[in-house]
Amino acid sequence: MPERDVTVGQLLLAEYQTVKDEQKTRIGFRDNLLYVTLTVVAAVIAAAAQAKQSEMLLALPPVCVVLGWTYLVNDEKISAIGTYVRDDLGPRLAELTDGQTVFAWETAHRSDTRRRSRKAIQCVIDLLAFCVVPLAGLVVYWAAGQTSPGLLALSVCEALIVVGLAHQVLSYARPFNSPRPPTP
């Protein structure tokens, strides 16, 4: 069998394809988590209303926190892949092409003038889906006046956990950061 030489450029392109495939998979998974959250929230609210049991609303915070955290982690990995391609992989490949621009889309799409507003709106949507809805469920539970000491303590813990998730959502959000200039 003849030997085949693999160039550094080929390895970098293979790595690019691999990380972009992972990014694409994570985007699909992340985006579906919003739909799953809406479905679960609707099911819990419908079940609580039908059974006239406000305690059932205590299921909202753990479900929303787990789905929200999973969403947030995937979103961060999607961004990390983009940063890696822009700041590490792209420049290494550009060196092999005598400074030719590579992966221009990785920076071009970030310079859209509406990017900040889209990111801010997405942050609001994430907070609504994963934090405001479960907190509203807790408020309804508390307002129903059918609390027991144990469930009340649980609901307070849940509220604190949801507030913690809200803090994480805001910490990871970058709606007001300007896009970084391309790395030379």
pLDDT per residue as tens digits for the range 63-96: 999 999 999 999 999 999 999 999 999 999 999 9
Is the CB of residue 123 less than 8 Å from the CB of residue 175?
Answer: yes
The Cβ-side half-sphere exposure at 108, using a 13 Å CA radius, reads: 5
The Cβ-side half-sphere exposure at 143, using a 13 Å CA radius, reads: 7
Structure tokens at 55: 């305690």
Which is nearest to 22 in space by CA: 82, 112, 68? 82
Q: At what angle do helices 8-51 and 133-144 cross, to 10 degrees?
A: 20
Task: Please write the tens of the pLDDT for every residue from 24-76.
Answer: 999 999 999 999 999 999 999 999 999 999 999 999 999 999 999 999 999 99
Q: How confident is the model at residue 173 (pLDDT cuts 50, 70, 90)?
A: confident
Is the CB of residue 126 less than 8 Å from the CB of residue 26?
Answer: no
